[in-house]
């Protein structure tokens, strides 16, 4: 998924979050992503203004259809703890990032998250993903999330809704192959993209359903706090 910043009103979130609040509490989030998309490995979106071209039903089309499953390692929003919270972002970046708008996204909160945690995560995501979406929705579901050095697996509603399964790319040694010094969306810090092509990445519901095997996948841990956001933007909730 591309680290693109779109000028103007940031409209990632439609979660009844407090973007109009006069002030924003101190917050921090350190979270790990199990992430996969339709692009070849490694996703060209991080280095180009458009995603990979795909040929389907006699048509050539650019898109990046993705599933990102997140687990918060440590975090808070004011007095609300976010540690251990899970959320999932599914969507399509669309054909051309240079036009200043991405296609669609769905944020699914784990059923175990509280209303306060959902609002807090929504506020923070507005800074992690400072972009515009043509269509944006939210939902809730049961998220399972497991990972080790060699494998990562995340499922939404037991895989009935979505699933991502990754396997470590075999480098010259058994150490993980890690891409460093590449920005992840709006976040100021990450520990590198751990190369893990997917065995499957799929979204199985509705007209936007998709499935890909053997395409891009990685794990990444990002870190961001309210101190990383310009004071005037933090006060406005974006």
Give the model confidence (pLDDT) of 94-114 as tens digits: 888 777 689 999 999 999 999
pLDDT at 6: 31
pLDDT at 101: 84
**Cα(96)–Cα(179) distance, integer angstroms:** 24
- What would you report as the CA-atom Rg of the chain, rounded to the nearest whole angstrom? 17
pLDDT at 9: 28
pLDDT at 23: 75
pLDDT at 58: 65
**Strand pairing category for 133-141 and 102-110:** parallel
pLDDT at 100: 64
Are the C-beta atoms of 139 and 172 separated by less than 8 Å? no
What are the residue ranges in the chain where pLDDT is below 50?
A: 1-21, 234-238
Q: Which residues contact 223 (CB under 8 A, 6 or more apart)?
A: 28, 29, 30, 187, 188, 189, 190
pLDDT at 63: 85
- Write down the domain spans for the chain: 27-236
pLDDT at 15: 39
């Amino acid at each position: 998924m591309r680290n693109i910043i779109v000028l103007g009103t940031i409209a990632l979130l439609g979660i009844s979050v407090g973007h109009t609040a006069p002030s924003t509490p101190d917050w921090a989030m350190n979270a790990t992503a199990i992430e996969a998309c339709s692009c070849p490995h490694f996703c060209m979106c991080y280095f180009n203004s458009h995603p990979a071209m795909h040929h389907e039903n006699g048509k050539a089309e650019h898109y990046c259809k993705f599933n990102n499953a997140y687990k918060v390692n440590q975090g808070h929003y004011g007095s609300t703890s976010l540690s251990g919270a899970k959320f999932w972002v599914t969507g399509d970046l669309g054909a051309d990032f240079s036009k200043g708008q991405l296609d669609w996204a769905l944020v699914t909160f784990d059923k175990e998250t509280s209303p306060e945690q959902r609002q807090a995560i929504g506020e923070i995501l507005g800074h992690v993903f400072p972009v515009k979406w043509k269509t944006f929705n939210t939902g809730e579901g049961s998220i399972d999330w497991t990972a080790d050095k060699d494998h990562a697996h995340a499922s939404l509603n037991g895989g009935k809704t979505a699933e991502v399964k990754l396997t470590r790319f075999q480098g010259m040694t058994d150490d993980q192959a890690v891409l460093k010094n590449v920005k992840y969306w709006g976040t100021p810090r990450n520990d590198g993209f751990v190369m893990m092509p997917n065995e499957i990445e799929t979204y199985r519901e509705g007209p936007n359903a998709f499935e890909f095997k053997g395409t891009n996948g990685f794990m990444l841990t990002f870190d961001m706090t309210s101190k990383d956001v310009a004071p005037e933007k933090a006060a406005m909730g974006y």
